Amino acid sequence: MRPLINAACLLAALALPTAAPAALKVGDKAPAFTTQASLAGKDFGFSLANALKKGPVVLYFFPAAFTPGCTVEAHEFAEATDDFNKMGATVIGMAADTIEDLNRFSVKECRNKFAVGVATPAMIKGYDVPLKMIGIPSGRTDRTSYVIAPDGKIVFVHSDMGVAGHVKGTMAAVKAWQAKH
């Protein structure tokens, strides 16, 4: 099953970026969740509510750990994580992978910089991020990034299977939010 997912993610990464409609819009309340997550290869319980107490949350969904586009995106977020942290923002990536896969991904591709969590079916439905590609097993997520303000409201959405724009857009949104607060 993994080769099929890898091939589909590679095709998606090579294709011209196309917008995928995200159900959640700027101004919507982000669904609360708790899930298993990993940082630096160690799993822990992640709570959106707890993270929002510290500042904005950059929540990005990606199709699968260790696929070409998802690896590039993880590297880009890893490079930007220190800047997000300086602005008080928490970065967390979400995929419908096992915690064991995410433990390895958090070390190798996220470079121990930010957490990655297990996207549960309820989260995928709540954030309306199911991957809708022919030949891809159901249960995976598309590539969508959100910035959620501490009040739980979404202040930025970028939904595109292409990697470009996710880090740059979320960074700009956090800067804009911080400038107002």
Sheet holding 57-61, edge to edge: 42-47, 34-39, 115-118, 90-95, 57-61, 144-148, 154-159
Question: Cβ of 172: how many Cβ atoms within 10 Å?
Answer: 13
Residue with tokens 């022919």: 134
Alpha-carbon distance 76 to 88, whole Å?
A: 18
Q: Annotated catalytic, 70? A: yes
Contact 54, 88 (CB under 8 A): yes
DSSP codes, 60-120: EE-S-TTSHHHHHHHHHHHHHHHHHHHTT-EEEEEESS-HHHHHHHHHHTSTTSSEEEE--
The residue from 70, 96, 124, 154 that is catalytic is 70
Which residues belong to the active site? 70
